[in-house]
Copies of this chain bind each other. A is one copy, B any other.
């Protein structure tokens, strides 16, 4: 759905052709999510079929620009007006991987967590570096970057939390009065930890 509505949103600025739309999308998201040009054309075809956009006559340079229709404008407004729901979100690969890791024989969960934390930490450092470098970049791209930073931080917090939970779960419950860690106590950022493990 993202690409479909993204193209509509970009066309709301004014008519544009496929190649321009890809450039505009990648510029707005700072190349975080490269957009395949083939997909742009097939999506534009579907949008035209559904009458959300209309093709304008091919111009002198052989470009085929599209214009958003009134119907398209309504669909786009609906997209902006309706929040992203839980059901809209794709399955999260990392969450599934760890959830299955704890019940798959022969898997060293601590090791899986450690590798992932390394990768995510490197990612977070790269994002942080970019944030400094791109302080005056487009607003849209800065928002995307900050979103990536918040997500990466949350992921590291979850990994740290999960590591503790799993370590505790592997001990065969010493006695019924389990030590309960206060909720979100481990939400404190503690990134600068290298973990030689």
Contacts and interface: CB of A to CB of B under 8 A. Distances in A.
A28 interface: yes
Contact of A158 (B119, B120, B150): B150
Contact of A84 (B116, B154, B169): B116
A83 to B, nearest CB: 4
Interface residues of A, number: 75
A28 B107 CA distance: 16
Interface string A165-196: 11001000000000000001001010000000
Contacts of A60: none
Given A144-B99, A162-B143, A165-B143, A119 B150 contact: no
Interface of A: 1-3, 5-6, 9-10, 12-13, 28-29, 32-33, 76-77, 79-86, 88-107, 111-112, 115-116, 118-120, 123, 139-144, 146-148, 150-151, 153-155, 157-158, 161-162, 165-166, 169, 184, 187, 189
